[in-house]
Amino acid sequence: RVAELAGLSSANFSWNGNGGVFSFKAVKHGRRRYHRIPPELAPYLREYSLSLQPVPRARLSEKFHQICRQVGFTVGKPSRRAPNQHGHRQTGKGVSWHAFRHALATELRRALVPEEVVARYMGWKTGGTTMASRYHVVEAEEADAIVLRKHPFIKYWATKC
């Protein structure tokens, strides 16, 4: 979330030989969250994190929108509706911060990461209907391929009567 990113500073990072860890206080529910930084990303983030200071959310959003425009994405325009309880305004069509969260959840589910794992990683509730199931859209061709690989009766059609 943009508010969580804007609040990061060098104090949120710790480094070790296997990468590192960053932590932050979640905007929703205020829980402290911890995520591993894989060794592949550590060289890029370590130097950057040493001088990292919190920035105004508006400046971070403007930089995000600038990058989106540079790569050819349409940027969602904030609506005129009042912000929700978390300070977010819904956007019109186009890319928004949340679109990347939704895309990540969808790609993790497409990679067959279990729904409970995706929900835990994203900081969503587990059990029942989760955000992971809400955002994971399975195309018909993908559903066929997955089901046909696991379908218990297909093997019986391969045998001759």
Tens digit of each residue's pLDDT, the chain (161 residues): 788 888 889 999 999 877 888 888 888 778 888 888 888 888 888 888 888 898 898 888 888 888 888 888 888 765 555 555 555 555 556 777 778 888 888 888 888 888 888 888 887 776 655 666 666 666 667 666 765 676 666 666 666 65
Instruction: Give the residue from 121, 90, 91, 94 showing the smallest Cα distance to 105.
Output: 121
> Measured between alpha carbons, how far apart are the two ends of the chain, in Å?
59
> What is the model's pLDDT at position 80?
58
> What is the model's pLDDT at position 152?
64
> What is the model's pLDDT at position 104?
82
> What is the model's pLDDT at position 85?
55
Buried b (16+ CB within 10 A) or exposed e, 26-43: eeeeeeeeeeebeeeebe
Using the 8-state DSSP alphabet, how is residue 35 labeled?
E
> What is the model's pLDDT at position 43?
84
